[in-house]
Amino acid sequence: MAEHIESKMEEIAEKIHRKSSSSSSSSGSDDDKSSHGHKVPFKSKVYRLFGREKPLRQVLGAGKSADILLWRNKRVSGSVLGGVSAFWFLFEVLDYHLITLICHILILSLSVLFLWSNVSNFINNSPPNIPEVVISEKSLLKAASCLTTEINRAMNVVRTIATGKHLKTFLGAIAGLWFVSVLGSCFNFLTLVYVVFLLLYTVPVLYEKYEDKVDAYAEKAMIEMKKQYVILETKVMANLNKEKKKDH
């Protein structure tokens, strides 16, 4: 078993060495070409977190939501953060109830619009222009399609784990569920959602700012995790082989 572990470690080291040597040789050939007067644009492939190849903004959707998460417009992002924080403060600190809040907001809104519409006739002012809101069937079908795709993807992951063939996926799912269970025991649901929102509002913009440093540390961590995974997989397979021999 020790020999098998050593061979696996040597394979990982060889792969890392090949990648580094190929990148260095490519950069060397690029220098040679530039020294002969030929300018060849070349960028060595840099490790990015989770193997992404697109910029962070495109990964987040490259739309208004990505701009809000990355604080492109500080006024809009600050307004959203303030609104969500006020929402959490009302329900978590002041123990306000959701149905009560919705009813109070509707009572206030309907009262203001009703009075405005009636008073405008006496003061010769234009009544409020209330837009007609109609949700298109296409939008609902698109939302349902996206939700169905995500549910099918989750079910496929569960099926992959249930087959017992992918140890790495199984360990990742167990670790993720355990982490969520620990968080759930420390916070209630609303506070947990608020904490996740704060993470989404701070982690992407900080990562974009210190992207190169984070990716360098992440690359070292991934190499170490792969080594530990090889050792764990070898031990588990050795124990399974022992159990099979005992059964026979």
| pLDDT tens digits along 103-113 | 988 999 889 88
Answer whether 127's CB lies under 8 Å from 134's CB. Answer: no
Nearest to residue 50, comparing CAs of 207, 246, 245? 207
The answer as to whether 187 is a domain residue is yes
The answer as to whether 162 is a domain residue is yes
Domain that holds residue 141: 46-241
pLDDT in tens, 184-204: 777 778 888 888 888 888 888
User: What is the value of pTM for the model shown?
Assistant: 0.51
The answer as to whether 108 is a domain residue is yes
Cα 214 from Cα 41, distance rounded (Å): 26
pLDDT in tens, 22-50: 544 444 444 444 444 444 444 456 666 66
71 φ/ψ angles, rounded to the nearest 5 degrees? 60, 45
pLDDT in tens, 200-221: 888 888 888 888 788 788 888 8
Question: What is the average pLDDT across 225-242?
Answer: 83
The answer as to whether 58 is a domain residue is yes
Answer whether 49's CB lies under 8 Å from 214's CB. Answer: yes
- Rounded to 5°, the CA angle 147-177-244 comes to 115
| Number of structural domains the chain divides into | 1
Please provide the average confidence, as pLDDT, over all residues in the chain: 76
Answer whether 69's CB lies under 8 Å from 78's CB. Answer: no
Phi-psi region of 136 (alpha: psi -120 to 50; beta: other; left: phi over 0): beta
Residue 14: predicted pLDDT: 61
Residue 9: predicted pLDDT: 56
The answer as to whether 29 is a domain residue is no
Cα 59 from Cα 54, distance rounded (Å): 6
Residue 107: predicted pLDDT: 94
**Does the pLDDT at position 234 exceed 80?**
yes
The answer as to whether 173 is a domain residue is yes
The answer as to whether 6 is a domain residue is no
The answer as to whether 155 is a domain residue is yes
Which residues fall within 8 angstroms of residue 98, CB to CB, at 6 or more apart?
A: 91
